[in-house]
């Protein structure tokens, strides 16, 4: 097990990349702590799988180094890196039995037969397949096959890291929950570094200690679920995390006030002059309808989504979502909306600006 | 709700029946007719029952041709299937070279059978053929018109040249359909090259291999044109395979009765062997699924 360091890493699928847009992964520097549970979150095509394949050694990066602990493994083959990876679609060896499938990585490393038998039994128990160990893998359902893939990923105890590439896509929803909980348990038990790629924020937020959000080939934020929610470093994080995402308004910021087309709101911090496109962001959870305080608002419709109501509205010509928790009043005479000043984030050209105490 | 029973729908099958009758059933029936009659021309037939069949079943000539035929099919299958797999595994997977390989591989398949025969007939000649002349110049005693072994080697090499492409192309298609994650997972699991072949590639190619073996068996069992053009069945009878013998009997000697009985049995043998192949291989499949 080792800490994984990415140094000036970038990757392009083209032979001679020139422009910034030629790169599938833009240059990045990151350290993945040993034993951490990470979720790699982002929309399709943002470079998640590319990054994963670079860490596991299936791809060689166009530039930069990959370090495991203190040793440089950039040019090492997958086998030498001793890494486990589970893919999006089940990969099983059809002609082998479930038992042989699970034992395969251990046998290839020349492990002792007794140890293999014991370890396979243990893993089978974990994925609930002890009673079908002797069956051929071919006729099994996609669920079962993916569980075998997961089992094969976890069967080696000494791996440096286990990488999951959207492993639960083909699994039934109720099963997803169960498997994710098991993965979490395994992580606590064995302390492997785990990197879990997904585009499902629930999956990411429940699995990981730290969530890494990627956007357009860049890691835009690496933080705890709490940090991602409260202080998104990039407007994409604000938009991607949360349901619905953060509200963003074009505004002019002066000191601790932001001006939106004639109206103005108080911010929780003071800001110096900001260059570029300036926006303020507020989570729908921190916007409250009032009878006169705050900005004038035009309510378009109210959706009842069960635990809370979702108010679709418009402020200064721009759309606004408000989450009204159960018990909070929503009525026709509520014509204004107020934002909690501490919860407002300010963005310049999509990146968060740190304010100083007001 | 009651089902409406209406047998008029059967008339819709009629066109197919008519076409199949004229293209297959009626010609086959004339063969059946010849096989149970003796004729001296003038469309006069004398009923002989199963006499021709008895004669053919006990005929040494037919036994020998059948033996040669089985040996020939066995040898070319034993060469072409492994060789085809080997070539498919080593072909480039994409890009310009992949297209070029595909075109080159497909070339032999496009050449008409008698042209293939002629090419090899000339190619192997000691006096003017490139192959024969070169071998002679190297001091190797090669002459397919005199030596039965040389004739066999020539016919087999020719068939391998002509048809290995088919096996290779089918296998190549099978290999191309294997998704990349299988290979990546194998790398992660540290599988050896042999294990990748044995547990990933071979199982995924099984379907196309079944087709390849079946096609090559049927084709080679019915082979006529190419060996006939090259060796004419000789020297002696050493490369006289079933089809060549059949034509000699029917057209050369005009023994239509025995030849008809022969061809019906020939047809049934191919049908039987193909069925056995197919059943065995699909059963293997089912057992594995259990």
Please indicate, yes or no, if residue B37 is contained in any of the structural domains: no
- d(CA A96, CA A101) in angstroms, rounded, equals 6
- Nearest C-alpha in B relative to A164: B185
Please indicate, yes or no, if residue B94 is contained in any of the structural domains: yes
Nearest to B189 among A57, A58, A104 (CB): A104
Q: Are residues A255 and A190 in the same domain?
A: no
Q: What is the pLDDT of residues A57-103, one digit of tens each?
A: 888 888 888 888 888 888 888 878 888 888 888 888 888 888 888 88
Domain count, chain A: 2
pLDDT at residue B86, as a whole number:
94
Over residues B71-87, the mean pLDDT reads 94
Q: What is the pLDDT of residues A209-249, one digit of tens each?
A: 888 888 888 888 888 888 888 888 888 888 888 888 888 88
Alpha-helical runs (H) found in chain B: 14-20, 26-35, 51-57, 60-90, 96-110, 113-123, 130-137, 148-176, 180-188, 193-196, 202-221, 225-230, 242-247, 256-289
- Give the domain-ending residue among A225, A240, A255: A240
Hey, which residues 57-116 in chain B have their CB within 8 Å of chain A? none
Please indicate, yes or no, if residue B95 is contained in any of the structural domains: yes
Q: Are residues A166 and A277 in the same domain?
A: no
Q: Are residues A291 and A159 in the same domain?
A: no
The one-character DSSP state at B250 is I
Please indicate, yes or no, if residue B285 is contained in any of the structural domains: no
Q: Does B16 touch chain A (CB under 8 A)?
A: no
pLDDT at B203 over 70: yes
Q: What are the backbone angles phi and psi of residue A157, rounded to the nearest 5°?
A: -85, -25
The question of ipTM being above 0.85 is answered as no
Q: Which of B196, B246, B202, B252 is nearest to B221 (CA)?
A: B246
Position B156 confidence tier, pLDDT thresholds 50, 70, 90: very high
Residue B99 burial by Cβ neighbours in a 10 Å radius (0-12, 13-18, 19+)? exposed
Q: Are residues A263 and A194 in the same domain?
A: no
- d(CA A204, CA A181) in angstroms, rounded, equals 12
List all residues 6 or more positions away from A104 whose beta carbon is below 8 Å from its beta carbon: A93, A96, A152, B189, B191, B199
- d(CA A18, CA B29) in angstroms, rounded, equals 74
- Nearest C-alpha in A relative to B186: A105
- Residue-range definition of the domain harbouring residue A23: 4-240
Q: Are residues A264 and A213 in the same domain?
A: no
Contact A96 B199 (CB under 8 A): yes
Please indicate, yes or no, if residue B27 is contained in any of the structural domains: no
Residue A318 burial by Cβ neighbours in a 10 Å radius (0-12, 13-18, 19+)? middle
Over residues A157-168, the mean pLDDT reads 85
Over residues A46-64, the mean pLDDT reads 85
Tokens of A74: 């950039």
Q: What is the pLDDT of residues A7-35, one digit of tens each?
A: 888 888 887 777 777 788 888 888 888 88
- Nearest C-alpha in B relative to A161: B188
The CATH number of whichever domain residue A11 belongs to comes to 3.40.50.300
- Give the domain-ending residue among A184, A217, A240: A240
- Nearest C-alpha in B relative to A82: B188
Q: What is the pLDDT of residues B60-69, one digit of tens each?
A: 888 888 889 9
Cβ atoms of residues B6 and B13 within 8 Å: no
- Give the domain-ending residue among A240, A262, A283: A240
Q: Are residues A210 and A255 in the same domain?
A: no
pLDDT at residue B19, as a whole number:
94
Q: Are residues A304 and A353 in the same domain?
A: yes
Q: Are residues A126 and A227 in the same domain?
A: yes
Please indicate, yes or no, if residue B9 is contained in any of the structural domains: no
Nearest to B188 among A56, A95, A136 (CB): A56
Q: What is the pLDDT of residues A310-358, one digit of tens each?
A: 889 888 788 888 888 887 777 778 888 888 888 888 888 888 888 776 5
Q: Are residues A222 and A305 in the same domain?
A: no
Q: Are residues A64 and A115 in the same domain?
A: yes
Contact A89 B181 (CB under 8 A): yes
Over residues A141-158, the mean pLDDT reads 85
pLDDT at residue B1, as a whole number:
58
Query: What is the average pLDDT value for chain A, to the nearest integer?
Result: 84
Percentage above 90 pLDDT, chain A: 0
List chain B residues with CB under 8 Å of A84.
188
- d(CA A346, CA A343) in angstroms, rounded, equals 10
Vertex B200 angle, CA B86 and B82, to 5°: 20
Q: What is the pLDDT of residues B4-50, one digit of tens each?
A: 777 888 888 999 999 999 998 888 888 888 888 887 777 777 788 78
Hey, which residues 170-199 in chain B have their CB within 8 Å of chain A? 179, 181-182, 184-185, 187-192, 195, 199
Q: Write the DSSP string, A186-199.
A: HHHHH--EEEEEES
- Residue-range definition of the domain harbouring residue B87: 64-254
Domain count, chain B: 1
Position B169 confidence tier, pLDDT thresholds 50, 70, 90: very high
- Shortest distance between the Cα of A77 and any Cα of chain B, in A, equals 9
Q: Are residues A191 and A260 in the same domain?
A: no
Please indicate, yes or no, if residue B287 is contained in any of the structural domains: no
The CATH number of whichever domain residue B160 belongs to comes to 1.10.3720.10
Q: Are residues A47 and A177 in the same domain?
A: yes
Cβ-based contacts under 8 A for chains A and B: 59
């Amino acid at each position: 097990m080792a800490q994984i360091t990415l140094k000036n890493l970038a990757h392009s699928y083209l032979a001679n990349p020139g422009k910034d847009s030629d790169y599938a992964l833009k240059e990045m520097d990151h350290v993945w702590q040993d034993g951490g549970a990470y979720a790699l979150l982002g929309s399709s095509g943002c470079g998640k799988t590319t990054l994963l394949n670079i860490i596991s050694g299936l791809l060689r990066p166009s530039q930069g180094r990959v370090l495991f602990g203190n040793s440089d493994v950039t040019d090492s083959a997958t086998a030498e890196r001793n890494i486990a990876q589970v893919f999006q679609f089940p990969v099983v060896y059809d002609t082998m039995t479930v038992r042989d499938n699970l034992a395969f990585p251990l046998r290839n490393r020349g492990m002792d037969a007794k140890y293999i038998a014991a370890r396979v039994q243990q893993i089978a128990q974990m994925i609930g397949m002890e009673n079908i160990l002797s069956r051929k893998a071919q006729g099994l359902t996609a669920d079962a096959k993916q569980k075998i893939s997961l089992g094969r990923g976890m069967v080696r105890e000494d791996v440096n890291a286990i990488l999951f590439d959207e492993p639960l896509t083909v699994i039934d929803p109720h099963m997803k929950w169960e498997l994710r909980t098991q993965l979490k348990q395994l992580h606590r038990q064995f302390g492997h570094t785990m990197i879990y790629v997904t585009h499902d924020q629930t999956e990411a937020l429940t699995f990981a200690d730290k969530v890494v959000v990627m956007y357009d080939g860049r890691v835009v934020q690496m933080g705890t679920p709490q940090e991602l929610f409260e202080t998104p470093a990039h407007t994409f994080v604000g938009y991607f995390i949360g349901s619905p995402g953060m509200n963003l308004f074009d505004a002019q910021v002066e000191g601790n006030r932001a001006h939106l087309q004639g109206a103005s709101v108080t911010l929780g911090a003071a800001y110096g002059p900001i260059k570029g496109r300036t926006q303020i962001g507020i989570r729908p959870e921190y916007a409250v309808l009032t009878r006169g305080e705050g900005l004038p608002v035009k309510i378009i419709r109210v959706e009842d989504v069960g635990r809370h109501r979702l108010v679709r509205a418009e402020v200064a010509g721009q759309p606004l979502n408000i989450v009204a928790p159960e018990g909070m009043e929503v009525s026709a005479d509520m014509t204004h909306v107020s934002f909690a000043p501490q919860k407002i984030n300010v963005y310049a050209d999509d990146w968060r600006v740190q304010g100083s105490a007001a | 709700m009651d089902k409406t029973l209406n047998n008029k729908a059967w008339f819709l099958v009629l066109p197919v029946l008519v076409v199949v009758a004229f293209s297959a059933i009626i010609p086959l029936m004339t063969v059946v007719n010849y096989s149970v009659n003796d004729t001296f021309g003038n469309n006069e037939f004398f009923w002989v029952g199963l006499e021709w069949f008895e004669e053919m079943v006990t005929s040494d000539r037919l036994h020998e041709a059948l033996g040669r035929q089985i040996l020939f099919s066995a040898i070319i299958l034993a060469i072409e299937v492994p060789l085809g797999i080997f070539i498919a595994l080593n072909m480039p997977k994409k890009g310009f070279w992949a297209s070029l390989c595909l075109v080159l591989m497909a070339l032999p398949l496009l050449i008409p059978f008698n042209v293939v025969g002629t090419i090899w007939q000339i190619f192997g000649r000691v006096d003017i053929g490139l192959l024969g002349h070169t071998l002679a110049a190297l001091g190797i005693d090669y002459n397919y018109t005199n030596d039965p072994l040389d004739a066999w080697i020539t016919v087999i090499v020719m068939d391998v040249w002509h048809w290995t492409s088919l096996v290779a192309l089918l296998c190549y298609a099978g290999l191309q359909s294997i998704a990349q994650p299988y290979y990546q997972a194998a790398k992660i699991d540290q599988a050896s090259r042999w294990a990748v072949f044995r547990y990933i590639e071979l199982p995924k190619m099984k379907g196309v291999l079944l087709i390849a073996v079946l096609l090559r068996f049927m084709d080679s069992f019915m082979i006529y044109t190419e060996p006939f053009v090259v060796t004419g069945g000789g020297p002696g009878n050493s490369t006289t395979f079933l089809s060549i013998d059949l034509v000699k009997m029917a057209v050369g000697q005009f023994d239509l009765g025995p030849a008809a009985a022969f061809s019906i049995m020939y047809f049934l043998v191919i049908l039987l062997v193909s069925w056995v192949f197919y059943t065995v291989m699909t059963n293997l499949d089912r057992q594995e699924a259990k």
